Amino acid sequence: MIKLITGFFSGIISGMGIGGGAVLIPALIIIEGISQQTAQGINLTYFIPTAVFALIIHIKNKRVDIKTALIIGIFGTVGAIGGSFFAVFASGALLRRMFGFFLLIIGILEIYKGIKHKKEP
């Protein structure tokens, strides 16, 4: 049942464009007890269908700048190849620390943006 709930909530977050991996990866590691590398692999496999369906809806609603998406997609693909090689050889502990640091920075930036937005008239 936990897997169903985790998949459902990370799917909602993915559909909003936030990134379901922020929910899915920690849940897989903490609840399922699997390695960081395996959790990241599952997240990437999970991401494909959820991203396709979310993309279709966002394109239908004219929320995608195709030119920008293509440029980012090309360079993102190159980065993904390099990151994949790095993840294969890096320790799970290092990857967990890097992922945690990334989530911390994103959280701090979101709090800052929320405070800044609240102050604006």
Structure confidence at residue 36 (pLDDT): 87
Cβ neighbours around 19 below 10 Å, total: 16
If you average pLDDT over residues 11-18, what whole number do you get? 78
How confident is residue 53, by pLDDT bands cut at 50, 70 and 90? Answer: confident
Task: Give me the chain's average pLDDT, please.
Answer: 88
Structure confidence at residue 121 (pLDDT): 67
Describe the chain by its helix, strand, coil percentages, rounded to 5: 85, 0, 15
Decide if pLDDT at 75 tops 90.
Answer: yes
What is the number of domains present in the chain?
Answer: 1
If you average pLDDT over residues 85-114, what whole number do you get? 91
Q: Which tokens sit at 33?
A: 């007890």
Range of the domain at 57: 2-119
Q: Give the Cα separation of 1 and 113 in Å (integer).
A: 35
